[in-house]
């Protein structure tokens, strides 16, 4: 009985920590990105050649969030291409997995920004297997820390 009680207490503490961590990620993210997590939806998808970071405004009439998303993601695509990953480190309060490899192999990786109807997306692609593994590691971490529910497996890129 004592083991069950201790296990339940430990589980409860872990759940509380996870909720607190997620709230902190969202709060720091709102400040760094310039738009609200509550008014937007993030997606982190893995493709055979890399993946994508996509953010959209939840309300199609929310032009302010759309414009902030597009400004932020355009900036992020340029920063990441230069090997500057300061924004995700500030948001997550740690160095996300994959970043050291992404910085080292930055010349092997293409980061591009695209405006979409309610926001934007950053497409990342490479032919380098080590860089691709780092991209997938980075995007899986983002998916997990932002609680997006996106697949953790590689899916076909849209055409």
Supply the DSSP symbol for 40. Answer: E
The reported pLDDT for the residue numbered 144 is 86
pLDDT per position as a tens digit, 33-80? 667 779 999 999 999 999 999 999 999 999 999 999 999 999 999 999
- Measure the CA–CA gap between 131 and 133, rounded to whole angstroms: 5
The reported pLDDT for the residue numbered 16 is 47
Which residues lie below 8 Å from residue 95, measured CB to CB, with a gap of 6+? Answer: 85, 89
Instruction: Give the mean model confidence (pLDDT) for residues 107-121.
Output: 98
- Measure the CA–CA gap between 57 and 79, rounded to whole angstroms: 22
**Residue located via tokens 């695509």:** 77
Tokens at 93, concatenated:
């309060």
Instruction: Give the mean model confidence (pLDDT) for residues 129-146.
Output: 94
- Measure the CA–CA gap between 158 and 75, rounded to whole angstroms: 23
C-beta separation of 145 from 92 below 8 A = yes
pLDDT per position as a tens digit, 14-41? 444 445 645 554 555 455 566 777 999 9
From residue 155, alpha-carbon distances to 20, 28, 136 in Å are 31, 30, 11
pTM of the model: 0.79
Helix or strand (DSSP H, E) at 119: strand 119-126
């Amino acid at each position: 009985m004592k083991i069950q009680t201790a296990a339940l207490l430990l589980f409860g503490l872990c759940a509380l920590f996870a909720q607190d961590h997620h709230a902190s990620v969202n709060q720091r993210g709102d400040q760094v990105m310039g738009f609200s997590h509550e008014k937007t939806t993030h997606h982190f998808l893995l493709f055979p050649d890399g993946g994508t970071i996509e953010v959209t405004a939840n309300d199609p009439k929310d032009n302010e969030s759309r414009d902030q998303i597009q400004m932020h993601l355009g900036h992020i695509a340029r920063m990441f291409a230069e090997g500057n990953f300061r924004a995700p480190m500030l948001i997550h309060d740690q160095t996300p997995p994959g970043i050291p490899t992404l910085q080292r192999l930055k010349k092997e990786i293409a980061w591009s920004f695209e405006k979409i109807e309610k926001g934007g997306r950053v497409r990342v692609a490479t032919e380098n297997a080590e860089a691709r593994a780092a991209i997938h590691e980075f995007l899986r971490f983002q998916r997990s820390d932002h609680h997006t529910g996106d697949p953790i497996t590689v899916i076909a890129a849209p055409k």
